[in-house]
A and B are shown apart, each in its own frame.
Chain A
């Protein structure tokens, strides 16, 4: 058991960081919405799922037949990324408008909002399962995983997966490196946006003290919308990376990944952008190390146990809650 852990340490480290980057990007959406509205946006996992289909739509619509290399690859990747971000960002804004804003205007309870979120999550999953996937992506194949090409056709790949270099037992592959670097880059840009721009200041002000923020002329609706948009765009990016990495998707992929991303957000300190990154990496690593020791079937149990334990003993997370004041 522990021999497995040491022998596969580097391989699991690399994979843990890669998966952790995806967790971190999704976690941002939970963290920012929670920071501003103190709402667990339960449907955020579906926003991520929609992102994977945004990319897939671009691939199928344009009819990419890859694998590409060089500048062509960069162009294709950017186009797919844009597709995912547009789909997720749009869906997040619509979600806010339809499922949350009316409740917010009524001053409904947070319990009601959370339940509305669960309803929205269910609705979006089933919308894809029963309407969108069979109609546009995979006709006639029931609820199987959806690949780049419709079932029965030759599978294409956007990029060939090549090992760039190795660290111990672990191979650093081009797609893994891309995901980690791009995710880090996006986090930095987001952090700068929140700390430097006017909208970012508005978000922080609202998170800290909504009443004063409103008195000082912050447009709450706009802030909330922007927050959802940013969270959605980041989840879209995560969806794109997910699709490039695994090359399959389906309507249910968001559920487990969403809970894990939420765990990452809580782990790092909800409301805290750096915390999301730290939480994502930590969770990805612990999960993979744990799997190498206990067996891969325990992966989810490990993640959920971390969630429960963290919430029990240190609900403010590793870095504490910083987008907002801590609330008991």
Chain B
């Protein structure tokens, strides 16, 4: 190993703060890990504490924005991460699945008076099914074509809602029922299981539980045969296929799961907002969630959550710069891609892949770059 290479190695290690921490984490005993998970969960439940509000959100109600946009973005980002981060499929129309979930809630709730808990599994199933229906014929396409098909699908869903009489066009569906109150139990002055008009916290707690369930599911998958298959597909689909991985099946699974998570977020959001209209599902939201995933560190749950939190929270926190926020956001995405395409807190595996393989979607003019060096 040359001195230069060693120096490079040293610099790399120094450049990533918390590298040691991650080493510890990788070898940490099970008990310690669970303790950290537990602390995080409790921490998330304590977040709406009003003492934080003046720092975190001077212009909007802190517990409200914790639910939307922050919490919802986090859940959506975790869902999209299954598709983009794990399976390496680019989805530009992810918001469509959120819309399917939200409209399931709106139609079944407002038209047929079903309750939230009955609709939740149906909304999730509807979103998953639409994911599979879209995915089945399109997942054979190469990466960037898939991106455009999903973009088209997202727009079709929105335009369909805009023009469908049954979905009440742009008037939207109002009086969507809230989740039924479960108990009058009070903890720390909050009626945690009463879903009323004014307090966003019960919804937030419900969302945190939902996120925790999704995280556990995703983590288990990541460390199973499924997760390894995804990694194989991401790194080299042809090789994976040759090694006997049923790539199509696993891609479809990722797409369906991602869609299901989006659907769950949609049901809960619709039940809190009580009003669903096509305007709430613009393309820019798909792009924003994707940016959250990529900025945070595609493929790494912690990174994705942090990314989604920042993308949702920063514009709310700095409402003064409101007018220019999307301008800044756009510039930030470009700069981030140039300086740190692997994201803020990258997945180690993904980072290695990006270094030598393009992570499933190929290089941009890779051949050229190699030769012209």
Interface residues of A (CB under 8 A from B): 37-40, 98-100, 102-116, 118-127, 130-131, 206, 210-211, 214-215, 220, 224, 255, 259, 262-263, 266, 297-298, 300-301, 304-305, 307-308, 311-313, 315, 327-328
Asked whether any CB of chain A lies closer than 8 Å to the CB of B153, the reply is yes
Q: Which residues of A contact B153 (CB under 8 A)?
A: 304, 308
Q: How far is the CA of A52 from the CA of B332 in the complex (A)?
A: 26
Contact in complex: B369, A104 (CB < 8 Å)? yes
Closest Cβ of chain A to B61, distance in Å, is: 26
Q: Which residues of A contact B364 (CB under 8 A)?
A: 37-39, 100, 103-104, 107-110, 112-113
User: Are B151 and A259 in contact, with the CB atoms below 8 A?
Assistant: yes
A231 to nearest B CB, angstroms?
16
| Known contacts A103-B338, A130-B327; A109/B354 CB under 8 A | yes
Q: A103-B341, A123-B327 are in contact. Are A110 and B363 (CB under 8 A)?
A: yes
Q: Report which of A100, A110, A308, A327 forms a contact with B156, defined as CB distance below 8 A.
A: A308
Q: Are A112 and B327 in contact (CB under 8 A)?
A: no
* Contact pick for A315, options B88, B145, B334, CB 8 Å: B145
The answer on a CB contact under 8 Å between B359 and A118 is: no
Distance (whole angstroms) from the CB of A59 to the closest CB of chain B: 26
| A residues less than 8 Å from B138 (CB atoms) | 308, 311-312
B114: interface (CB < 8 Å): no
Q: How far is the CA of A304 from the CA of B148 in the complex (A)?
A: 10
CA distance A206 to B290 in the complex (A): 31
Indicate if B149 sits at the interface (CB-CB under 8 A).
yes
User: Which of A118, A119, A300, A308 has a CB less than 8 Å from the CB of B149?
Assistant: A308
CA separation between A99 and B368, bound complex, in Å?
17
- B141 near A112 with CB under 8 A, answer no
Given contacts A115-B290, A308-B152, contact A130 B324 (CB under 8 A): yes
Query: A275 to nearest B CB, angstroms?
Result: 15
Cβ of B19 < 8 Å from any Cβ of A?
A: no
Q: Looking at the assembled complex, report how far the CB atom of B311 sits from the nearest CB atom of chain A, in whole angstroms.
A: 12
* A311 B90 Cβ-Cβ under 8 A: no
Q: Do A119 and B367 contact each other (CB < 8 Å), given the known contacts A103-B341, A110-B358, A311-B138?
A: no
* B181 within 8 Å of A (CB atoms): no
Among A98, A113, A215, A311, the residue within 8 A (CB) of B145 is: A311
B12 within 8 A of A: no
Q: In chain B, what residue has the closest Cβ to A328? A: B142
B165 to chain A, nearest CB (A): 11
Report the minimum CB–CB distance from A315 to chain B (whole Å). 6
Bound form: Cα–Cα A312–B142 in Å: 11
CB <8 Å contact, B354 and A215:
no
* B368 partner, pick from A115, A119, A210, beta carbons under 8 A: A210
A266 in contact with B148 (CB, 8 Å): yes
Contact B291 A118 (CB under 8 A): yes
Within 8 A of A (CB), among B325-362: 326-327, 329-334, 336-338, 341, 354, 358-362
Complex Cα spacing A16 to B342, Å: 44
Can you spell out 16 A-B residue pairs with CB atoms less than 8 angstroms apart?
Answer: A37-B365, A39-B144, A99-B334, A103-B364, A106-B341, A107-B363, A107-B369, A108-B363, A110-B362, A111-B84, A115-B337, A119-B336, A126-B330, A304-B156, A311-B138, A312-B141
Find chain B residues with CB under 8 A from A210 CB: 365, 367-368, 371
A115 touches B291 (CB 8 A): yes
Point out the residue from A114, A122, A127, A255 that lies within 8 Å of B90, measured CB to CB: A114
- Which residues of B285-328 are within 8 A (CB) of A? 287, 290-291, 294, 323-324, 326-327
A122 touches B149 (CB 8 A): no
For residue A216, give the distance in angstroms from its CB to the closest CB of chain B.
Answer: 11
Q: Are A119 and B163 CB-contacts (below 8 A) given A107-B369, A110-B143, A111-B359?
A: no
A203 CA / B12 CA spacing, docked (Å): 38
Find out whether the CB atom of A119 lies under 8 angstroms from the CB atom of B291. Answer: yes
Report the minimum CB–CB distance from A311 to chain B (whole Å). Answer: 5
Bound complex: CA A313 to CA B137 (Å): 8
The 8 A CB mask of B234-248 against A (1 = contact, 0 = none) is 000000000000000
Chain B residues positioned under 8 Å from A118 (CB to CB) = 287, 290-291, 333
Whole-angstrom distance between the alpha carbons of A313 and B145 in the complex?
A: 12
CB distance from A27 to the nearest CB of B (A): 13
Report if B216 contacts A (CB, 8 A). no
Q: Which residue of A lies closest to B288 (CB)?
A: A122
> Is A116 a contact partner of B337 (Cβ separation < 8 A)?
yes
Residues of B within 8 A of A307 (CB): 148-149, 152
How long is the Cα–Cα vector from A298 to B360 in the complex, in angstroms? 36
Give, as a whole number of angstroms, the nearest-CB distance from A87 to chain B: 19
How long is the Cα–Cα vector from A99 to B339 in the complex, in angstroms?
11
1/0 contact string of B133-165 vs chain A (CB within 8 Å):
000011001111101110111011001101100
Which residues from chain A contact B283 at a C-beta distance below 8 Å?
255
Query: A115 contacts which chain B residues (CB < 8 A)?
Result: 290-291, 294, 333, 337
In the complex, A315 Cα to B145 Cα: how many Å?
Answer: 8
Give complex CA distance A262, B145 in Å: 11
Query: With the chains together, A113 CA to B368 CA distance in Å?
Result: 15
Q: Does B370 contact A (CB under 8 A)?
A: yes
* Nearest-neighbor residue (CB-CB) of B84 within chain A: A111
- Which residues of B lie under 8 Å from residue A38 when comparing CB positions? 144, 362, 364-365
Interface string of B114-148 (1 = CB under 8 A from A): 00000000000000000000000110011111011
For residue A220, which residue of chain B has the nearest CB?
Answer: B368
Q: Is the CB of A259 within 8 A of B147?
A: no
Does residue B372 face the partner (Cβ distance < 8 Å to A)? yes
